[in-house]
Structure 1
């Protein structure tokens, strides 16, 4: 059953484009731009037919109630954390939703996703993430549910809010830990130099790596970066704000799908944006 679910994500070309629309789970107002109306946001993205859409349990039924056989697969967000604001709250946490794998099965998800957060001087959050993963892994295996682990190395929030740390040495060690904890799929940040990303692919030991998009950047930057990351061996991408905050989310989805599945050049992908 796990392999069948993996095929729903990677079956078209062996690669996957997952559009993340789970930002409302984290109680951060700045994350809500473009997704104030979730029904509309999901409809627009689903019509563009990426391989998957990443959603929390509260809004996943919107996707799963779409008629027809060609709707994107569901990747279910299973955890919630309060680590994105500035300043940070007095007490930080990371917690898994109750009966997470049962909810994933009930919602017909193809995958469950959970964070592995590394924040400066916040070992309690990191420890909580380890506990979350250790709870989910055997339950996912029992249910035949692929587990996507999201190793996320963050900078100090006081530097300007939610910012990832592109230091490849930090990324490598956290990705490898996610693999050793039993990840079926890795969702990892790009490093500062995308040309080095083959090192992340190598350290993942054959576990497929999907690359996070991070903050909103220009069209050309996100497309050219995606092209390089795919050339480096990534098996796909998980982008949110670079799709949902775009003036034409459907066109951006089509452009990124062309790179992920067809090996399109940056210029060919740009042409799809008009």
Structure 2
């Protein structure tokens, strides 16, 4: 018989992943990580309630927020919308030599009080502060798992020696290394960088040994189809979906984009066909 905690972890993961084992998750931590300027392209989206209402209406599988924004916007979620709460972050106001550290800004108990289905934390693999983030992640994961909550790692290779010693952060080998490290420290889901091709991203997926790997959406693309093609390649490579922020909230009307992404993620639909079906072309 499974331990109660294992049952809870599996059930809560299903709140993000549909029967196909894939998920599209909306990310809303940018106001802290990058500052409110990220919302200037569509300023009304600085209010998390407004953008959350739109993404939920479009059928998003899950959302990721920090604790305080969750408190503001949680009433906009549907009962079956997966809620991921991230407990680490940093601001860009820090001195540059401290930018490679994510600090803990909340606790597992806070996430549970807010109704979280999963708990997330970042590790910058290769950072001089890697040890601090490893310990931080291990402590969060241990407590979350004890209580039956899945733990998500944002596995980002970043550090002063990444370029010269391991290759750029887009090099599939260093992204693959970060994904594997996330698995070995206990992650139940991984969010990480695109590696440039579906062939190399497939190796990242292989290194994760069955733990779902989702794309970190990154900066907004000029063309919606370009981003749809990127997510399609992730799915073709065996990825489990994407966690998307700027490619949603920096668009004036994000709902057609979300519906097109859902077509790509859950139906394996051709990106251009998905874009046409949702009026993006």
User: Shorter-chain TM-score category?
Assistant: 0.7 to 0.9
Contact 2:170–2:196 at 8 Å: present in 1 too? yes
Distance 2:77 2:104 in 1: 30
Equivalent residue number for residue 85 of structure 2: 76
Residue 57 of structure 1 and its aligned partner are, at CA, apart by: 0.6
Q: Write the mapping of 1:14-29 to structure 2, written as runs, cut at 5 A.
A: 14-26=21-33, 28-29=35-36
1:109 equivalent among 116, 123, 131: 116
Equivalent residue number for residue 159 of structure 1: none
Equivalent residue number for residue 270 of structure 2: 265
1:226 equivalent among 226, 231, 234: 231
Contact 1:213–1:239 at 8 Å: present in 2 too? yes
Unaligned runs of 5+ in 1: 157-163
Does 1:181 find its partner at 2:185? yes
TM-score, length basis structure 2: 0.86
Task: Quickly say closer, same or farther: Cα 1:55–1:67, change in 2 above 3 A.
Answer: closer
Residue 205 of structure 1 and its aligned partner are, at CA, apart by: 0.6
Residue 31 of structure 1 and its aligned partner are, at CA, apart by: 2.9
Contact 1:101–1:143 at 8 Å: present in 2 too? no
TM-score, length basis structure 1: 0.88
Equivalent residue number for residue 256 of structure 1: 261
Q: Write the mapping of 1:49-60 to structure 2, written as runs, cut at 5 A.
A: 49-60=59-70
Distance 2:279 2:153 in 1: 31
- After the TM superposition, which of the residue ranges 222-231 and 22-31 deviates more from structure 2? 22-31
Contact 2:182–2:190 at 8 Å: present in 1 too? yes
Contact 2:122–2:153 at 8 Å: present in 1 too? yes
Residue 192 of structure 1 and its aligned partner are, at CA, apart by: 2.2
Contact 1:42–1:62 at 8 Å: present in 2 too? no
Equivalent residue number for residue 94 of structure 1: 102
Residue 150 of structure 1 and its aligned partner are, at CA, apart by: 0.8
Distance 1:67 1:167 in 2: 37
Unaligned runs of 5+ in 2: 1-7, 161-167
Distance 1:239 1:196 in 2: 21
Contact 1:101–1:145 at 8 Å: present in 2 too? no
Task: Quickly say closer, same or farther: Cα 1:16–1:67, change in 2 above 3 A.
Answer: closer
Task: Quickly say closer, same or farther: Cα 1:235–1:4, change in 2 above 3 A.
Answer: same
Task: Quickly say closer, same or farther: Cα 1:167–1:61, change in 2 above 3 A.
Answer: same
Task: Quickly say closer, same or farther: Cα 1:69–1:118, change in 2 above 3 A.
Answer: closer
Equivalent residue number for residue 54 of structure 2: 44
- 2:156 is paired with a residue of what secondary structure? strand
Distance 2:120 2:209 in 1: 19
Residue 4 of structure 1 and its aligned partner are, at CA, apart by: 1.0
Distance 1:30 1:101 in 2: 29
2:131 equivalent among 127, 135, 159: 127
